């Protein structure tokens, strides 16, 4: 496992930081970043009873990570009808979305803040039989105190960027000590495997497994809502700008203006990554002269609507089903891009900007198969949308993307098999 003086110091000082953690929680509450009805969960005080029997604990940092687990959780519960699942996240948006989609026998809690007293209180209550982290959020006290209780630990769907690797290079003993507390590490790609080895992770713990997001299935939707919107929009061509960030809405609106020279009835749907930005986006676009509908205000798109701002949670499956062309955001600004398999699984041709480091290998595979096309600015995006408004071109591109997205079942199968084996071993102790 390796000894880290830095980690030892972190854990030793952690009990003295409870006051700081409480002040930070109060600040987050004031900023609306915490749920006032559930803030005690962040102090490790559970708001639900621990169910009897085996409990699998999944920790996911964000909405995307947590949603990628739902199919896997469903399979585990189907295979083991007596188990229960605890899933922890750190954001209000993830909690709101998961509440609508959690399978039976699954409980959501907010993760405790990373101080030893809060973490110990959390673990004392839940006593998980297996602890599974996803992607890259490794809180030191949470990892170390879980390991100290001899709970089997799995790092699933692990991904590390060049930036994170370069930052951790200054503290290799610290990160190496954390990584080697895991019994198994399933990584998304060979680059992550190389990074983790360089940072001290034991080679025989690491397996390149692909991304769970490739096998997470099609996003759900409300069929009644889809049918009604399809009726309202009739034969209007539609394209979607999904998971956009500040700076991208202006670009996609400019691209929409270019594409509307050819397709005068074209409708752009903008689904911002952070829905709370919706009213400000709509205000800015209206000031620029656009006829804008805002979902959170109860607006419905009509024949005059030029841009529809879909500022709601849990409806991406609806927008991808309506749009034959999807621009995936976070890629025209330096965010790193977002998951392209969501539109790929739902028959939408994919456009993206140059900044896709978060999923570069996936975008390369999609491009090689003809399922995704890069753009660089409003002009190239507008031209790409115009080109793909020809139904045959969009259909061919969407089919190629779907074939790539449907090939990722092996990652989920491998994770499922490994977790099953750990459950069986835990059950015999």
Per-residue pLDDT of the chain (429 residues; tens, 9 = 90+): 667 899 999 999 998 999 999 999 999 999 998 999 999 999 999 999 999 999 999 998 766 667 778 778 888 988 888 999 999 998 888 888 777 778 889 999 999 999 999 999 999 999 999 999 987 778 999 999 999 999 999 999 888 888 889 988 889 899 999 999 999 999 988 899 999 999 999 999 999 987 776 655 677 788 999 899 999 998 899 999 999 999 999 999 999 999 999 999 999 999 999 999 999 999 999 999 999 999 999 999 998 999 999 999 889 999 999 999 999 999 999 998 988 888 988 888 999 999 998 777 788 889 989 999 999 999 999 999 999 999 899 999 999 988 877 666 677 888 889 999 888 887 655
223-405 shares the fold of 5-211+409-427: yes
| DSSP structural state of residue 208 | E
Give the C-alpha separation, 255 to 15, whole Å: 53
Contact by Cβ (8 Å): 410, 210: yes
What residue spans of 235-315 are helical by DSSP H?
A: 248-259, 278-287
Residue 190 annotated to the active site: no
The confidence score (pLDDT) of residue 429 equals 53
Tell me the CATH architecture of domain 5-211+409-427: 3-Layer(aba) Sandwich (3.40)
CB atoms within 10 A of CB 354: 14
**Calpha distance 42→319 (Å, rounded):** 33
Q: Structure tokens of 166?
A: 């370069």
User: Rounded distance, CA 189 to CA 129, Å?
Assistant: 28
Q: 65, 214, 249, 342: which is the annotated catalytic residue?
A: 65
C-beta atoms surrounding 319 within 10 Å: 28
> CA 142, 143, 146, 148: dihedral to nearest 10 degrees?
-120
In this prediction, residue 228 carries a pLDDT of 92
CB-CB neighbours of 79 under 10 Å: 12
SS3 186: strand
- Give the model's pLDDT for residue 64: 67
Structure tokens at 135: 């992607």
Query: Can you read off the two tokens belonging to residue 204?
Result: 């025989």
Kindly report the number of other CB atoms within 10 A of residue 143's CB atom: 23
CA-to-CA separations, 232 to 167, 229, 236, 385, in angstroms, rounded: 50, 5, 9, 22
CATH class for domain 223-405? alpha beta
Beta bridge partners of 84: 55
What do you get for the CA distance between the two ends of the chain, in Å?
23
The residue ranges of every structural domain in the chain are: 5-211+409-427, 223-405
| Model pLDDT, residue 428 | 53
Length of the chain: 429
């Amino acid at each position: 496992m390796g000894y880290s003086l830095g980690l030892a110091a972190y854990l030793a000082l952690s009990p003295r930081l409870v006051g700081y953690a409480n002040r930070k929680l109060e600040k987050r509450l004031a900023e609306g970043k915490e749920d006032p009805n559930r803030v005690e969960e962040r102090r490790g005080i559970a708001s639900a009873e621990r169910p009897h029997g085996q409990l699998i604990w999944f920790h996911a940092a964000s909405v995307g990570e947590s949603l990628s687990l739902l199919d896997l959780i469903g399979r585990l519960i189907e295979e083991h009808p007596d188990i229960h699942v605890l899933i922890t996240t750190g954001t209000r948006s993830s909690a709101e979305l998961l509440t609508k989609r959690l399978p039976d026998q699954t409980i959501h809690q907010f993760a405790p803040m990373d101080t030893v007293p809060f973490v110990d209180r959390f673990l004392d209550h839940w006593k998980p039989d297996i602890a599974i982290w996803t992607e890259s959020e490794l809180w030191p006290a949470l990892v170390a105190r879980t390991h100290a209780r001899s709970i089997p630990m799995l790092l699933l769907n692990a991904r590390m960027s060049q930036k994170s690797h370069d930052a951790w290079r200054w503290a290799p003993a610290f990160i190496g000590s954390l990584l080697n507390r895991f019994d198994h590490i399933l990584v998304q790609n060979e680059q992550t495997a190389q990074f983790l080895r360089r940072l001290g992770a034991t080679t025989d713990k690491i397996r390149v497994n692909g991304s769970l997001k490739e096998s997470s299935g099609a996003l759900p939707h409300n069929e009644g809502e889809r049918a009604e919107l399809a009726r309202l929009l009739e034969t209007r061509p539609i394209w979607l700008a999904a998971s956009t960030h500040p700076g991208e809405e202006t670009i996609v609106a400019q691209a929409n203006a270019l594409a509307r020279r050819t397709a005068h009835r074209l409708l752009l749907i903008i689904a911002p990554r952070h829905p709370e930005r919706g009213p400000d986006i709509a205000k800015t676009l209206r000031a620029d002269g656009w006829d804008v509908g805002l979902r959170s205000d109860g607006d419905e798109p009509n024949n005059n609507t030029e841009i529809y701002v879909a500022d709601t949670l849990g409806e991406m499956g609806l927008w991808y089903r309506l749009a034959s062309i999807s621009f995936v955001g976070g890629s025209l600004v330096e965010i790193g891009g977002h998951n392209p398999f969501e539109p790929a699984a739902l028959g939408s041709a994919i456009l993206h900007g140059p900044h896709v480091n978060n999923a570069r290998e996936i975008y390369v595979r999609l491009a090689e198969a003809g399922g995704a096309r890069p753009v660089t600015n409003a002009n190239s995006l507008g031209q790409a949308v115009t080109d793909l408004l020809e139904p045959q071109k969009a259909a061919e591109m969407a089919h190629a993307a779907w074939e790539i997205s449907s090939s990722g079942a092996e990652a989920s199968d491998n994770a499922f098999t490994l977790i099953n084996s750990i459950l069986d071993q835990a059950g015999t102790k």
